[in-house]
Chain A
């Protein structure tokens, strides 16, 4: 059943940007508004995501500031923070509000700057990213964000025989996809050998297993099922699930199951009355190569333990039977934290409209977005479909 429809999308390139957050977000938002053709006066509310502007550039209370920048001052505006799942959670709340009839048409989006343009170097950003792990029971060990996913991935390798080579294949595939995405942070291909020879960040992850720190913004216009046909190219949102899990890691029973992703997937599939087999492609949260393997199993694309072999054998490539991250994913497209979830919705929409250019999949009808936060303790799963 259609819960809401996406009728306009916009995003900046992901990479290095020197504009202030309001201007950076404004670009994406105005593009989304223009793409939809919505009359700005018809936008009833603003659902906004920014994860760490307070820490990185001393910039908070951004929802009204950004609304005012693009002529929307006055409407209700709210900011979401769920680490890397920030703007997917904004999207979820927007879809729920529209589905419930609280609003007809809303603007959803996110912005973040994570590159040294903020004035913060790698050590400081590593410290800020680590703030999503448990303040008392994890941060004092020196655990980093790559470290968290390294812990999950190492156990997956131990239990299922997943190899570093299989992880490297995820990076190679996503870099290739990124070369066909003009908005991607990285536009160059890489090789398994280059990944395996790059320096270790947190074993088993080499530098080339990790997504970059990026700046960027993404925005979408969401409207009700009733109003969708008054727009040119609506794409339907048929399911949005979200779940959380135990924190810290020591309280989780099966660390590499990423249980919230499984729970959120079950909710989204139930709402959409669909199954993994009927989903043509996915954008998943590959903050690290191992995270894509775990996600590919959690969303039901592969049986547990088969995500690694599937990546190595090319099944997740753009012409494989289970395409994952045709945009290049976080790995190549980039990861401006608060914009990432919304950018996945942009990619799903463009793929389902047939507007993805050189990275266009073969006539997909249904796509899934998987956006996680923290140590995977928050996950939002969205299912979008060609409007029937």
Chain B
């Protein structure tokens, strides 16, 4: 599968500031991150699809004790978009992000010690 939607495609897009999900070619369900086989219908091969850039916080935590290479505190949450959920860093200027708050995609975050990218959302 030359056109497989895989980690590299997802991460490369994210580094460009583009949020891609995977859409099953068979059951048409969309997922927030790539996966080789559709979890819902077992069809092989998801195609990349742009995810909606706004959503709400499904759940969120303020991490005070961070792993080596990260500096706390910061917020990590599961963001519920129109078509999928994914784990993301959530940035807030002053307010504490809460479940149900509106968020907007704000690009890729490369804070991990190995430089790997994570989705970043900002509180609206």
A150: chain B residues within 8 A (beta carbon): 61, 63
In this assembly, does A116 line the interface, its C-beta being within 8 Å of a C-beta of chain B?
A: no
Contact with B along A93-113 (1 / 0, CB 8 A): 000000000000000000000
Given that A138-B87, A249-B87 are known contacts, is A155 also in contact with B58, CB under 8 Å in the complex?
yes
Given that A137-B33, A142-B89 are known contacts, is A126 also in contact with B76, CB under 8 Å in the complex?
no
Given that A124-B68, A136-B7, A250-B33 are known contacts, is A255 also in contact with B59, CB under 8 Å in the complex?
yes
Question: By the criterion CB–CB under 8 Å, are A144 and B118 in contact?
Answer: no
Given that A130-B67, A141-B118, A251-B33 are known contacts, is A158 also in contact with B59, CB under 8 Å in the complex?
yes
In whole angstroms, how far apart are the Cα atoms of A158 and B99 in the complex?
8
Which of B39, B61, B117 has the largest number of chain A CB atoms within 10 A? B61
In this assembly, does A246 line the interface, its C-beta being within 8 Å of a C-beta of chain B?
A: yes
Closest to B115 in A: A140
In whole angstroms, how far apart are the Cα atoms of A199 and B59 in the complex?
21
In this assembly, does A65 line the interface, its C-beta being within 8 Å of a C-beta of chain B?
A: no
In this assembly, does A202 line the interface, its C-beta being within 8 Å of a C-beta of chain B?
A: yes
In this assembly, does B112 line the interface, its C-beta being within 8 Å of a C-beta of chain A?
A: yes
A249: chain B residues within 8 A (beta carbon): 78, 85, 87
In this assembly, does A139 line the interface, its C-beta being within 8 Å of a C-beta of chain B?
A: yes
In whole angstroms, how far apart are the Cα atoms of A248 and B34 in the complex?
10
Contact with A along B48-71 (1 / 0, CB 8 A): 000000000011111111111110
Contact with A along B87-104 (1 / 0, CB 8 A): 111000000000110000
Question: By the criterion CB–CB under 8 Å, are B87 and A202 in contact?
Answer: no
* Residue in A122, A127, A203 whose beta carbon sits within 8 Å of that of B61 in the complex: A203
B74: chain A residues within 8 A (beta carbon): 142
Closest to B71 in A: A142
Chain A 184-239 residues near chain B, CB threshold 8 A: 199-204
Closest to B8 in A: A136
Question: By the criterion CB–CB under 8 Å, are B32 and A151 in contact?
Answer: no
Given that A249-B87, A255-B59 are known contacts, is A142 also in contact with B112, CB under 8 Å in the complex?
yes
In this assembly, does B5 line the interface, its C-beta being within 8 Å of a C-beta of chain A?
A: no
Q: What's the interface size class on A, roughly?
A: 35 or more
In this assembly, does B12 line the interface, its C-beta being within 8 Å of a C-beta of chain A?
A: no
* Residue in A123, A126, A204, A248 whose beta carbon sits within 8 Å of that of B87 in the complex: A248
* Residue in B35, B58, B119 whose beta carbon sits within 8 Å of that of A251 in the complex: B35
Question: By the criterion CB–CB under 8 Å, are B61 and A147 in contact?
Answer: yes
Question: By the criterion CB–CB under 8 Å, are B76 and A141 in contact?
Answer: yes
How many whole Å from A281's CB to the nearest CB in chain B? 31
Closest to A375 in B: B87
In whole angstroms, how far apart are the Cα atoms of A130 and B72 in the complex?
15
In this assembly, does A154 line the interface, its C-beta being within 8 Å of a C-beta of chain B?
A: yes
Question: By the criterion CB–CB under 8 Å, are B77 and A151 in contact?
Answer: yes
In this assembly, does B105 line the interface, its C-beta being within 8 Å of a C-beta of chain A?
A: no
A200: chain B residues within 8 A (beta carbon): 62, 64
In this assembly, does B86 line the interface, its C-beta being within 8 Å of a C-beta of chain A?
A: yes
* Residue in B39, B77, B87, B100 whose beta carbon sits within 8 Å of that of A137 in the complex: B87
How many whole Å from A249's CB to the nearest CB in chain B? 6
Closest to A121 in B: B68
* Residue in B58, B68, B77, B109 whose beta carbon sits within 8 Å of that of A126 in the complex: B68
Closest to A127 in B: B67
In this assembly, does B42 line the interface, its C-beta being within 8 Å of a C-beta of chain A?
A: no
In this assembly, does A329 line the interface, its C-beta being within 8 Å of a C-beta of chain B?
A: no
Chain A 142-166 residues near chain B, CB threshold 8 A: 142-144, 146-147, 150-152, 154-155, 158
Given that A137-B87, A246-B39, A250-B78 are known contacts, is A142 also in contact with B70, CB under 8 Å in the complex?
yes
Closest to B100 in A: A158
Question: By the criterion CB–CB under 8 Å, are B86 and A137 in contact?
Answer: yes
In this assembly, does B84 line the interface, its C-beta being within 8 Å of a C-beta of chain A?
A: yes
Question: By the criterion CB–CB under 8 Å, are B33 and A202 in contact?
Answer: no
Given that A127-B69, A141-B118, A142-B76 are known contacts, is A250 also in contact with B87, CB under 8 Å in the complex?
yes
Question: By the criterion CB–CB under 8 Å, are B68 and A143 in contact?
Answer: no
What 9 new A-B contacts, CB under 8 Å, besides A137-B33, A202-B64, A251-B85? A134-B87, A140-B110, A142-B112, A142-B118, A143-B63, A147-B76, A151-B60, A200-B64, A250-B84
The 4 closest A-B CB pairs, nearest first, are: A150-B61, A140-B118, A127-B67, A155-B59
List 16 contacting pairs A-B, 8 Å CB cutoff, sorted by A: A122-B65, A127-B69, A139-B112, A141-B76, A141-B119, A142-B111, A150-B61, A151-B60, A154-B60, A158-B100, A202-B65, A204-B61, A248-B87, A250-B87, A251-B35, A251-B39
